[in-house]
Structure formats: C-alpha cells, structure tokens
Amino acid sequence: MEDNLFGQDWEIEPAGGETGKAFVAIHEDEKFFLKKNSSPFLATLSVENIVPKLIWTRRVENGDVITAQKWINNGQTLTPKEMRETRVAKLLGKIHQSEALRDMLQKIEKKDYSSSHLLETVTESIDNLNQVDTKVAQAYRYLIENVDSLEEGRHVVCHGDVNHNNWLLSEGEELYLVDWDGAMLADPANDLGVLLYQYIPYSEWSDWLAEYGQTLTQAFYTRIKWFSICQVLMAMNWQFEHDRKPELARLELLLNKIIEDNEVYATLCE
C-alpha cells in the first residue's frame, strides 16, 4: 500500500479489527483512516454525516480499492451504558428513515433480506448451532412457529452490527456509526432488537424507542424478538466457524436472555 499511495515518509499501521483491511496512515500533522475494498456505499454515508468524512478513493495496481477517511482525533467508542442515550436512538432513527441511503444501497449492493431469507440462512447452519447450546433448538422452533404471522416492516438500511464498539464519538461530540461492511436492506428490527436486548433495560424500551421514532406495540415486540434471535444465531455460527469461544459464550448468554424474555411481553399485555 505504501508504494502505491504514499511516499517513504508516511507510516502505515494496522488499525485492528477482524478483517485486517483497516490501516492508519500518519505523516507529520496528517492522519487518515484507510480501508481496503470498502463498500461504495461509504460515500453516501459520508455525505449524510453518518461516518467520518471520506477524503478520497483510489484503486491500486492489484485491483484493491483504498478509501481514506478523516481521522477523528481522540475519538472514543461508546460504552455499553452510553448506548442508552438519546443521541444513539436519534442517529439510528435517522439512518433507518433515510430514503437517500435506502435508494443508494438498493442500487449498489442489492442486499435485500426478508425474514424467509434470514430463516433459510439460519437453517443452513443449524447443525453447527446445535453443537453449541441447548437453547438453539428452542430458539429455532420459535422462528419456525412465528415466521408466517410476522408483520414484517418496510425494509430500510440496516447496519447489521450495532454493538457499542462501532459507535464513535468525536471531541466535538459528533456521533458516528462505523464499519458498514455488513449493510443490508431489511426490517429495522434487525438492528433494533439486538441493541435493545444488549444495552437497554426493559423499563426504558418504550422511551428509547420513542426517541428513535417507534411506538412499542405487541406486533413490534414480536418483530424485535424474532429478528434478534435470527441475528444472534447467525452471529453464533460465524463465531463457531472461526473458533472464537469467548465471543461465542457471550452470544449464548444473549440468546438465553432473548428466549427467556417475559418482562417486556408481560408489560405489553397489562
């Protein structure tokens, strides 16, 4: 990368992450966040101020496309507790409600995932998953029993991995949602459900969703639970295939929490 894009005075360092495709380029007062083969969707996200500003995009000799984004000095990822804040709900609501983002992702990615498609994906991995946790069979049965009655919402741009490490806060209190490699068009409950179950106390669901722009109804609760189970099972399969035991164990606990969730349901039935 150095030979193709930068002179010898630039220092290129890995930026971490699971893919090994992210780097930091440093030279005197200049600093960029670089990534190989990011989605073309990144440009639209930059315009909408969802991610740090895209500076340039270049193709190198081996065919890789390198993107450079503004480096956020002293940027901090959100803590699990900070995920409860109004600004998180509002930014996710902005993303899900954006027609510009939806139209652009539909043109360039064509990743449109219905509940039936997601269920097929889970079904393909069920043999792996049954080796992991005894709750998997119960979770899978819930998906099967409820898919036909699911009132699926209009598909919007979903991030696909809204854990707290993907939320970046600048010194100037600008909030960004980064790492969009898994972006897809799907029911917004794909993002909302796992976020709610991981970070938001049940007693705060209604208020948090109101800031996001959604009323918590029985039908919406069912969507949240159904898509949360799908997302967790798919994530568990990925972690299983990559032999990441600590993360797999964390997901098992989250799956158990979702399956045994009675508090929200009881509140809605009052």
Catalytic amino acids?
161
| Contacts with 244 (C-beta within 8 Å, 6 or more apart), sequence order | none
- Would you call 158 exposed, middle or buried from its count of C-beta atoms within 10 A (0-12, 13-18, 19+)? buried
Q: Which two tokens stand for residue 25?
A: 């380029």
Nearest-angstrom CA–CA distance, 27 and 29: 6
Nearest-angstrom CA–CA distance, 141 and 152: 18
**By the 8 A CB rule, do 158 and 188 touch?**
yes
| Contacts with 2 (C-beta within 8 Å, 6 or more apart), sequence order | 8, 10, 12
Quote the radius of gyration of the chain (alpha carbons, Å): 20
| Contacts with 124 (C-beta within 8 Å, 6 or more apart), sequence order | none
